Amino acid sequence: MNKSREFAVVILAAGKGSRLKSKLHKVLHNIAGRPIIEHLMAQVQILEPAKTIVIVGDEREQVINQVSDRAICVVQEPQLGTGHAVAQAKDELAEFEGDVIMLLGDAPFITAKTIIGMLERLRADDEPAVVVLGFEPEDALQYGRVITHSDMTIEKMVEFKDANEAERATRLCNSGLMAARSKDLFDLLERVDNDNAQGEYYLPDIVNVAVREGHTCAAVVADKPEEVLGINSRKELAAAERQWQELRREEALENGVTLKAPDTVFFSYDTELATDVTIEPNVVFGPGVKVERGARIRAFSHLEGAHVGEDCEVGPYARLRPGAVMEKASKVGNFVEMKKATLGEGAKANHLSYLGDASVGAGANIGAGTITCNYDGYFKHQTRIGERAFIGSNSSLIAPVSIGADAIVAAGSAVSRDVAAGELRMVRAEQLVKPGWADRFHDAMKKKKAAEKKG
């Protein structure tokens, strides 16, 4: 793209989103663990615009708190339509002589490539006053139509309810995303009126104003209709999540990842998977997970904020929480939970254990039912387990505590003091044996119960 002219981005995020029936602003609902507007912001930031302006209105503080570190937030109050919303950016762009891309905060899947295409068309030799991003859905429904000439210059924009039969037969629909030069944009907006049923100022009307005044306007078409999907309801939010997950699964398969049952695996926006990773059914990735080559994530496991090393095995039914690190060829099995814990190379915790605020040395073995007791009600404490240590089943390691290399903790022990390297530690109450006591107890209880029934 020719960068001789700067460009700014205006994102419209002032709407109420009432159909979502939520106290959370529409653009802050998550897709793949990331707020809707953050998907959009990520694509925008790739292109390094001169300015990014977000128009806010309803529940504005929520949106401002989310994006104000990377964007200028401008309030639209009251909300009088999309044209009125863009007009609120006029003061911020008063001295700006570049181009302006107008995006919708609830349409998260627009790509940097498509934005570049809009800018390139705006900068073409015929210098259109406005560029509209059109799309061709399978079912055009009641979308507004973009009526074009054969060269994709625009004859007019028409709302579905105002379109005649021939215009409704046109498959090119208006996405609501546009580009214009700053000097043209605000002049056109001043000539848009609100003579419509809603009494609002609509952004697409700038095209009709420009065409009436003899200016060229042009359309470009999105590669995929899904790219301009807007989200206004819980149903549409679920559809967007489904769309994102389907694309991510296809990408994983193409990149050498085995998915045993793709439709049951759910990724986060930032999941990193190396080649030759195998993922079994019903696995969920939260944000911040990286899985190295050759690892196997078995069924019904949940990972978040975790790093899984080469040739590791996770699950089934395992949970890796933030700060979990598995080094090469280590293993956690069924119903094992890790949090802020490192499992050294080749170490194993095969079942029914909790490792929290802990470091486990290479080759160590953690027996079933082992718990690192890391929390005293006020503070978290560390457990350190040395290389090749053996922790017997049903042991409680009461932090802060260290277990030395090659040490053995006997099954059923509650360890509250450090264990030296090579030492055996057994912490159990002395067994008390009373022959015949259980038989006498049962006889007495049966007689008592029988007497109560007679009474």
- Contacting residues for 162 by C-beta, under 8 A, at least 6 apart: none
391: which strand partners? 366, 409
Q: Of the listed 149, 215, 351, 381, which one is catalytic?
A: 351
Element (H, E) at 334: strand 331-334
Cβ contact 220:152 at 8 Å: yes
C-alpha to C-alpha distance for 145 and 162, rounded to whole angstroms: 10
Token representation of residue 297: 């994530």
Backbone angles phi, psi at 435, to 5 degrees: -60, 135
Cβ contact 365:382 at 8 Å: no
Contacts 24+ apart (CB under 8 A), 359-365: 359/383, 359/384, 359/385, 360/385, 360/389, 361/385, 361/386, 361/387, 361/388, 361/389, 361/405, 362/327, 362/387, 362/388, 363/387, 363/388, 364/388, 364/389, 364/390, 364/391, 365/389, 365/390, 365/391
Can you say whether the dihedral through the CA atoms of 117, 120, 121, 122 is positive or negative?
Answer: positive
Q: Is 412 left (phi over 0), alpha (psi -120 to 50) or beta?
A: left
To the query of whether residue 351 is one of the catalytic residues in this protein, the response is: yes
Question: Is 78 strand, coil or helix?
Answer: coil
What is the distance in angstroms between the CA of the first residue and the CA of the last residue of the chain?
Answer: 96
- Amino acid at residue number 375: Y
C-alpha to C-alpha distance for 403 and 126, rounded to whole angstroms: 75
Helices 182-190, 205-212: inter-axial angle, 10-degree rounding: 90
181: which strand partners? 99
Helices 60-67, 36-46: inter-axial angle, 10-degree rounding: 40
Residues annotated as catalytic are: 351
